[in-house]
Structure 1
Amino acid sequence: MNLKHLRYFVTVAELGSFTAAAEQLHLAQPAVSMAIQKLERSLSVQLFHRHERQISLTDEGNELLILAKRILMSADEATLAMKELSGLQRGEVRIGIPGMLGSYYFPPILMAFRHQHPALQLSVIEAGTRKLQQMLINGEIDIGVIVEDTPSIELDTLPFLREQMMVVMASDHPLATKTSIDIDDLSEEELVLFKEGYFHREVIDKLLLQHGIKPHIGFETNLIPLIKQIVKQGFGISTLLEMVIKDEPALIARPFSEPVLLDLCIAWRKNGYLSKANRCFIDFVAAQKTQP
């Protein structure tokens, strides 16, 4: 089985077009078609249904796509490991971070790391915890930030931060007079929440479900500045990490009566190869971690 042909196959399958795959691979379209035909002959299967203007994977093609991605990921890791043994480094850290932490916790860490290691390239992707877990497993990113209570047997984790979830409201909101907020207090309030798939949305959904509360969600958005503006104008309350509203006098943060603590972790693929750059970044974050 030819690795180059497998790469062509994965590209065609993901783009759904021989022409688009050829453009991305910087090859002539007939060359890509011939490579796929050779791969089909070597495996004695048909990988694509070829229609007049479109293609689709056969059952065999769908099965090979899963296996091909694993094979290519392992091949890339083996190549990287051998290069590093000969003194070369990839020099890139691909990290996925949820938006709240990416905006308010990680900027000084990323800048300090870059200052210490100016030759290394940082590639930061913003996504929710669930999406980041899947991207790690698929090899789309090297490192991700997830919540410890949503682990995967396919990932290794390192706790680095414990933060308290706070109820956030306008300074003149009736709940602002309380020193802490009962979960039942949320039952009558219009809520401004992140979309599903983000860690703090999952925490709130779980809390409300445990108490049999059906939430009144007025706004769903991943834009933190928009969340803060909506809350400031009194159109709802939200739940955020306390770090988000520092230097925001128009907003008040109150803890839950039963504190809601989040243990955040750096995660990477179990048994996957970590480059020197990635190991260096994990060690750097571990050195900064906040003790519970």
Structure 2
Amino acid sequence: MNLHALRLFHLIASTGSVTRASEQLSISQPAITSQVKKFEKELSLQLLRPEGRGIALTEAGEQLSVLASRLFAVETQIEQFAHDYREGAIGRIRVAATYLPAHFLLPAWIAKYKQSYEGVEMTIHTTDSGGALHRLQQMEADIAIYGGIPEEYPDTIATEQLFEDELWFVVAPGHRYAEQHITLTEMMREPFVMRETGSSTRERLFALCRTHNAPSPRITLQFNGLHEAITAVLAGYGANFVSSLVVRDKVERGELCRVYVDSVQPINSIAVCTRQNEPLSAAASRFVDLIRSHPIRSQ
């Protein structure tokens, strides 16, 4: 079917005049009339009939005009969809995130993003460090937000560090090491309350001990959530090794106290990971741009 001729016919039907259609398109009336006649032959239907000094639609022409209106309305919708998708106004973003960014960073980022891009659907999957990269590699996530410093990223993963924060040893205010300077070996004599195996911060603590030839930490209580682990320390049991982003407010209010371990200044990296050599959708790209421009830095 000649869609150009259908469009000419639709404009004649909409304006009720070959003359007005000619004026809108800047095409001569004979040229329009000729193309519509060829279109009628193509369909083997008479679409227009003479009426006085003008033209009118035949019954077939009236019904085809209705169908053409629907067709070109859908065309407009398709054009709008393509524009919105290209500009990132619509789409879907699947984010895999480790616990720290998922609970302490992403909510603010997403709220800011959704103010401008309400039409974008977002799903967040919180997992451990290995799980976040696995979901990215398995095409189950578009981006991964990673908190920690993994020993090595796979070659298939592109990584951009967003910012760094400190990792702190914290205890309850009444603890004997509260606000004290001690050695890492002394710190490792204390019972630790930590998250489960697979937590990047937990792995960092073990790696720190290996690097400084200190005893491994005694994790005497573990939880699946960081909030629960911090709450146990707040109640007076054990110590925790945690991002400063998580406990800074509690330390400033005096609910928790830092322990200063000599010669140890561990840093935590917050990074965004994508699949290597695979461009992001416009929606995901704009989300990453927002994160870059609104980092939440430790003070």
The normalised TM-score by structure 1 is 0.65
1:276 paired with 2:276, answer no
Partner of residue 143, structure 1? 143
1:209: how far off?
2.4
- Structure 2: state its 5+ residue gaps: 1-78
Partner of residue 232, structure 2? 230
Question: For 1:141, what is the secondary structure of its paired residue?
Answer: coil
Q: Quick one: distance in 1 between partners of 2:197 and 2:113? A: 31
Q: Deviations over 1:149-168 (max 9, x none)?
A: 44221111111120100001
- Does the 8 Å CA contact 1:242/1:253 hold for their aligned counterparts? no
1:213: how far off?
0.8
- Does the 8 Å CA contact 2:163/2:295 hold for their aligned counterparts? yes
1:262: how far off?
1.5
Rate the CA distance shift 1:137–1:223 in 2: closer, same or farther, 3 A: same
1:113: how far off?
0.9
1:276: how far off?
0.9
1:134: how far off?
0.9
1:214: how far off?
2.6
- Does the 8 Å CA contact 2:184/2:214 hold for their aligned counterparts? no
- Does the 8 Å CA contact 1:165/1:255 hold for their aligned counterparts? no
Q: Aligned runs of 1:201-216 on 2, under 5 Å?
A: 201-210=202-211, 211-216=213-218
Q: Quick one: distance in 1 between partners of 2:84 and 2:165? A: 38
- Does the 8 Å CA contact 1:99/1:222 hold for their aligned counterparts? no
Question: For 2:198, what is the secondary structure of its paired residue?
Answer: coil
Question: For 2:249, what is the secondary structure of its paired residue?
Answer: coil
Partner of residue 38, structure 1? none
Q: Quick one: distance in 2 between partners of 1:164 and 1:172? A: 23
Partner of residue 253, structure 1? 258
- Of the structure 1 ranges 242-251 and 105-114, higher mean CA displacement relative to structure 2 is found in 242-251
Structure 1 runs (4+) deviating above 4 angstroms are: 83-86
Alpha-carbon RMSD: 2.4
Q: Deviations over 1:86-134 (max 9, x none)?
A: 4363611111111222222222111111112111111111011111111
Question: For 2:83, what is the secondary structure of its paired residue?
Answer: coil
Rate the CA distance shift 1:118–1:107 in 2: closer, same or farther, 3 A: same
1:266 paired with 2:272, answer yes
Q: Quick one: distance in 1 between partners of 2:182 and 2:128? A: 26
Q: Deviations over 1:133-153 (max 9, x none)?
A: 111111111111223544221
Partner of residue 66, structure 1? none
Partner of residue 117, structure 2? 117
Question: For 1:250, what is the secondary structure of its paired residue?
Answer: coil
Q: Deviations over 1:45-83 (max 9, x none)?
A: xxxxxxxxxxxxxxxxxxxxxxxxxxxxxxxxxxxxxx9
Rate the CA distance shift 1:87–1:256 in 2: closer, same or farther, 3 A: farther
Partner of residue 173, structure 1? 175
> Which of 83, 87, 105 is residue 83 of structure 2 equivalent to?
87
Partner of residue 199, structure 1? 200
Amino acid at match of 1:87: H
- Does the 8 Å CA contact 1:192/1:237 hold for their aligned counterparts? yes
Rate the CA distance shift 1:216–1:148 in 2: closer, same or farther, 3 A: closer
1:230: how far off?
1.0
Amino acid at match of 2:83: G
- Does the 8 Å CA contact 1:183/1:256 hold for their aligned counterparts? yes
Question: For 2:158, what is the secondary structure of its paired residue?
Answer: strand
Rate the CA distance shift 1:240–1:108 in 2: closer, same or farther, 3 A: same
The normalised TM-score by structure 2 is 0.64
1:244: how far off?
1.3
- Does the 8 Å CA contact 2:179/2:258 hold for their aligned counterparts? no
Identical positions, percent: 17
Amino acid at match of 2:164: R
Partner of residue 128, structure 2? 128
